[in-house]
Structure formats: C-alpha cells, structure tokens
C-alpha cells in the first residue's frame, strides 16, 4: 500500500456530477486559447469536469492553462499519462499540480516502485487526485497492454481516486467496476468518433464520460454537450 492521501478528488467529482446534473468531462483537445474559451464558455454549464491533454497544454503553455483553470468552477484533470521513473514523475507532478490541476492521469504499466509511488506522494503533498489508466479505448490496447483485470486490481491496491476504462468496450467497464468497487471513479473515453455509446457506457458502471470531438467539433457545442449531459 502506498502512503495514505486525501480522497478529495473522488468526492469533488461526485459532487460536481450531482450538483451540475452532468456526467460529461470535456476533453479539450483544441490548439489555441481563443478556441478553448469559445468552447468552454458555451459548454461549461453542462460539464462535470474538463480534461486537458498535450495538444492544448503544448499549444498554449502552462500559464494560459493555469488561468483557464482559475476561470471555471469545475474540476480540471491533467491527462499527461505519466509513465516515467520516480525522479521525472515527481517533477512532472509538481509542475502540473502547481498549474492547478485537481487530478493527474498516470499509466499503470510502469508499476509502483520507483515510478507511481512518486505520483502518489506528490498527490499527497498537494492534496490532489490520481487517476490510473486500466485499459485504453483504441484497438491496439489489446496488443501489449496488461490484462485490465490486473491493472484494475492494481488501481484498487494503490488506492487511487479513479481509473480510465474504455467506452468502446463496455464489458471491460462493467468488469473493472466489479474489481475496483463502488467508491472508485470510472471515467470513460471513446464515445462518438471512436465508436462508444454514452448510454451503454454509463449503464456499464462508468461515473462519467470523457468526450472531446463530439462536443468541440460540433456545429453547436452547447447543444452537443447539453444532449450528452441528459444521458444518465
Ligand atoms: P474524443 O472524444 O475526441 O475521441 O477524445 C477522447 C479523449 O480521451 C482524448 O483526449 C484522448 O486522448 C483521451 N483518451 C482516449 O481517447 N482513450 C483512452 O483510452 C484514454 C484517453 O485518455
């Protein structure tokens, strides 16, 4: 077991889902600041969280992302799929929690000793969350990644706040829910262009959907986000 750390992020996400009546986390993979604000201003009332990945972070930089996080009363998740040795992971986490992310996504495949322990320790120092990838939504996830039963058990052992499980294979979402229990968040990407269906994914046990292109590429992002938020 790793050091105990606050489970505030799980609570914060579940509060946001309840209070905002939405199970949608926006994957804000746009490439400029103006576009990011155009989308966020239109859709934020229909969101439970925002996820920022390399495309936006590398395009606009950390100061701009920090300002964005400060402007919306929503949990922000940093999706940098942290997967390095401890010394490097510590630096990445210190930077990203300082930027203001409420939780960071890490890969499970690097293991705990000399890798994820550093992520959990940084989360504990900052009182923030860690979300572990158990299984990915693309077809190639079946080529080399470990069995999802093993990564889900590992997530439970580590006591992370949540896991990523694929909306494109809802039988995995259901199995991962059985393994991780009811307390742990399951966030599921893959709805829309990747082929996953919102209702099926929530029915399988996901707490929230991670949705990008179906919202920010829509002619009317506000309507797209509202309709997704109506799926419960
Ligand atoms: P979209 O809805 O546009 O397919 O975006 C999905 C988002 O979720 C992207 O940010 C992608 O990097 C992320 N993601 C994914 O699609 N599958 C995974 O298994 C894990 C992810 O983080």
The tens digit of pLDDT for each residue in 14-35 reads 999 999 999 999 999 999 999 9
pLDDT band of residue 6 (cuts 50, 70, 90) is low
What mean pLDDT is predicted for residues 98-120? Answer: 98
Nearest-atom index, ligand 1, CA of 27: 10
Distances (CA, A) of 89 to 4, 6, 94, 168, 230: 18, 19, 8, 29, 37
Catalytic residue among 3, 81, 91, 142: 81
- Given a cut of 80, is residue 5 above it in pLDDT? no
Nearest-atom index, ligand 1, CA of 79: 22
Percent of the chain with pLDDT over 70: 97
Q: How far is the CA of 189 from the centre of ligand 1 (A)?
A: 5
The tens digit of pLDDT for each residue in 128-163 reads 999 999 999 999 999 999 999 999 999 999 999 999
Pocket flag, ligand 1, residue 193 (CB < 6 Å): yes
Q: Smallest Cα–Cα separation from 207: which of 42, 27, 49?
A: 49
Predicted TM-score of the model (pTM): 0.97
Pocket flag, ligand 1, residue 29 (CB < 6 Å): yes
Q: How far apart are CA 9 and CA 114, in angstroms?
A: 24
**Cα torsion 14, 19, 23, 26: sign:** negative
| Catalytic annotation present for 81 | yes
Among 57, 59, 106, 137, say which to mutate for ligand 1: greatest number of ligand atoms within 8 Å of CB: 137
- Are 162 and 151 contacting, i.e. CB atoms less than 8 angstroms apart? no
The predicted structure's pLDDT at residue 232: 86
95 contact partners, CB below 8 Å, separation of at least 6 = 62
Q: Give the position of tokens 């860690």.
A: 130
Q: Smallest Cα–Cα separation from 30: which of 46, 47, 48, 53?
A: 53
The tens digit of pLDDT for each residue in 26-70 reads 999 999 999 999 999 999 999 999 999 999 999 999 999 999 999
Q: How far apart are CA 172 and CA 46, in angstroms?
A: 27
**Cα torsion 104, 16, 9, 205: sign:** negative
Domains annotated on the chain, with CATH:
8-229 (3.20.20.70)
Among 55, 189, 198, say which to mutate for ligand 1: greatest number of ligand atoms within 8 Å of CB: 189
- Given a cut of 50, is residue 111 above it in pLDDT? yes
H/E element, 12: helix 8-20
Q: Whose CA is nearest to atom 20 of ligand 1?
A: 136
Q: How far apart are CA 165 and CA 190, in angstroms?
A: 9
């Amino acid at each position: 077991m790793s050091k105990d750390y606050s489970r505030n992020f799980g609570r914060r996400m579940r509060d946001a889902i309840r209070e905002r009546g939405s199970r949608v986390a926006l994957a804000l993979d746009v490439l400029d600041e103006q576009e990011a604000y155009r989308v966020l201003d239109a859709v934020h009332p229909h969101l439970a969280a925002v996820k920022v990945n390399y495309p936006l972070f590398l395009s606009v930089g950390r100061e701009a992302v920090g300002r964005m996080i400060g402007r919306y009363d929503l949990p922000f998740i940093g999706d940098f799929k942290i997967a390095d040795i401890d010394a490097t992971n510590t630096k990445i986490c210190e930077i990203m929690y300082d930027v203001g992310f409420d939780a960071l996504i890490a890969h499970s495949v690097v293991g705990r000793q000399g890798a994820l322990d550093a992520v959990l320790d940084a989360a504990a120092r900052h009182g923030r969350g860690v979300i572990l990838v158990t299984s990915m939504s693309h077809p190639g996830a079946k080529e080399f990644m470990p069995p999802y039963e093993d990564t889900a058990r590992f997530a439970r052992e580590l006591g992370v706040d949540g896991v990523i499980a694929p909306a494109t294979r809802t039988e995995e979402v259901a199995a991962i829910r059985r393994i991780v229990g009811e307390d742990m968040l399951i966030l599921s990407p893959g709805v829309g262009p990747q082929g996953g269906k919102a209702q099926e994914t929530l029915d399988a046990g996901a707490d929230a959907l991670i949705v990008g292109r179906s919202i920010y590429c829509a002619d009317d992002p506000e309507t797209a986000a509202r309709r997704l938020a109506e799926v419960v």
